Structures are given as C-alpha cells and as structure tokens.
C-alpha cells in the first residue's frame, strides 16, 4: 500500500531522512518508532506529498507518487499539529473537508455523521472547536483524516499532549480501524503504543531504519 525507496531529505546541513526504505502492507498497522527528531514526521510529510524528497521515491498503492492529486485522494493524514478550524463547529470542520475531497452533499452529510459518531462527538457536533479539550480535538483530528474513507491512513503521534483517558479512547478507535482492515502508518516514540497497536514496527533514528 505504501513503498518508500531510498528516501533522503535535507534541511540545510541537517539530514532529516537518510536513505529510508520500507513497505507497508495492505491491511496492517505499521508503526514508525523512534525518539523525537528521528525523522518520523518528515517521513510522513514526504509520504503524503507535503514535502518533496531530495532523493528517492514514494509509491502509494502502486499508483505513483502523492504529487498526483488522484493519488493524494487515497490518503488520510492526522498530523501532529492539529489540522482544525477553531472558529468552526465539529460538524462544519468535517463537512468542509468532505466536500474538499469531492464528496457530494448527501455523501458528505453521511460521512460527517459517521465520523462524529466514530470520534464520540455527536453530542458536541454544533459546538465550536475552540471550546474542546485537547483530547476531544485529537479525536476530531482523527475523524477529519477518515471522513473521505481513505485507503491509507497516516497518524503522526496522534496521542501527543492528551490525558490518559483520552489516550485510551484514541487507542480504542485505532484498534477498531485495525480490526476492520484499515491500512495505517502510526508514528510514535512510545514503545508501549507500538506494541499494543501495530502489526509490524520499523525503528528509526536520525532518518535511518535501524530494525524492522
């Protein structure tokens, strides 16, 4: 579902990703485990086309690079930095993103309802995101990545900064996606998260794959 071949990315004198190659199989949760600054987020940014690699190749589902808009539609990403509009309601955030991904009005409404239910936020659907707790925002961030039913979901440290109860709720939702056969790339620096959620784990540091 995702193939990274000899990826390299430099920012000035810093080499963030250094010859990284790996494959993510369809239907698995693949963990990208490493300390802060290991190159996990940069790898995700290249995988979804936010950052162009200096060298190497990204292939999504055998359909080519994420620079192609048709390929990008296969992807859902929940970035570490929340990708939400605070001045909009939860419902408005999801409906807007569904329309951006090309869903018609009836489809967008149905997927928005599903995503709110999945995130456990149906009762807060008409509240502005600015009133949400950190854990609620993280759950909505996950729902936003899923609203268009992506073939591949990339989660970049989705539990960062949340309380234990919210963390557990996010785990349960990711486990439900895993059990449903969703293909997921999950980045974390917590060993226990990778052990609980992932079928396979790639350990990286300084942008290099150390073990699989």
Alpha-carbon span 124 to 78, nearest angstrom: 20
Residue 194's nearest CA partner among 145, 159, 146 is 159
Strands 75-78 and 152-156, sheet pairing: parallel
Average pLDDT of 141-145?
96
DSSP, collapsed to helix, strand or coil, labels residue 17 as strand
- Side-chain half-sphere CA neighbours of 175 within 13 A: 11
Q: Report the Cα 92 to chain-centroid distance in Å.
A: 20
The total number of residues shown for the chain amounts to: 212
User: In this predicted model, what pLDDT tens digit does every residue of 25-44 receive, in sequence order?
Assistant: 999 999 999 999 999 999 99
How far apart are alpha carbons 190 and 132 in whole angstroms? 25
Express each pLDDT in 63-107 by its tens digit: 999 999 999 999 999 999 999 999 999 999 999 999 999 899 899
Q: Quick one: residue 23, left, alpha or beta (phi over 0 = left, psi -120 to 50 = alpha)?
A: beta
Strand, helix or coil at 81? coil
Going across the sheet that includes 75-78, the strands are: 75-78, 152-156, 183-188, 29-33, 200-205, 208-211
Residue 161 — pLDDT band, cuts 50, 70, 90? confident
As a whole number, mean pLDDT of residues 126-138 equals 96
**Given this model, what pLDDT does residue 5 score?**
98
Distance of alpha carbon 206 from alpha carbon 40, whole angstroms: 9
At 121, is the pLDDT very low, low, confident or very high (cuts 50, 70, 90)? very high
State the Cα–Cα distance between residues 177 and 171, nearest whole angstrom: 10
Residue 200 has pLDDT above 90, yes or no: yes
Torsion of CA 20, 161, 50, 117, to 10 degrees: 110
Per-chain mean pLDDT for the chain: 95
Give the rounded percent of residues in the chain with a pLDDT score beyond 70.
100
Backbone φ and ψ of 137, nearest 5°: -65, -40
The pTM of this model reads 0.94
């Amino acid at each position: 579902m995702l193939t990274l071949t000899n990826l390299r990315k430099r920012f000035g004198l810093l080499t963030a990703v250094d010859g990284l190659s790996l494959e993510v199989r369809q239907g698995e949760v693949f963990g990208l485990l490493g300390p802060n600054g290991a190159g996990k987020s940069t790898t995700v940014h290249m995988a979804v086309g936010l950052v162009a690699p200096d060298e190497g190749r990204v292939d999504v589902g055998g359909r080519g690079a994420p620079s192609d808009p048709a390929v990008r539609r296969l992807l859902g990403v929940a970035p570490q930095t929340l990708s939400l509009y605070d001045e909009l309601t939860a419902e408005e955030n999801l409906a807007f993103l569904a329309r951006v991904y090309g869903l018609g009005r009836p489809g967008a409404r149905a997927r928005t309802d599903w995503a709110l239910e999945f995130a456990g936020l149906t009762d807060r659907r008409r509240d502005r995101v600015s009133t949400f707790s950190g854990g609620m925002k993280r759950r909505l961030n996950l729902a936003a990545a899923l609203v268009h039913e992506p073939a591949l979901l990339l989660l970049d440290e989705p539990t960062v900064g949340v309380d234990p109860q919210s963390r557990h709720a996010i785990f349960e939702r990711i486990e439900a996606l895993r059990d449903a056969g969703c293909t997921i790339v999950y980045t974390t620096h917590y060993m226990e998260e990778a052990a609980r959620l992932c079928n396979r784990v790639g350990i990286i540091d300084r942008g290099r794959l150390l073990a699989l």
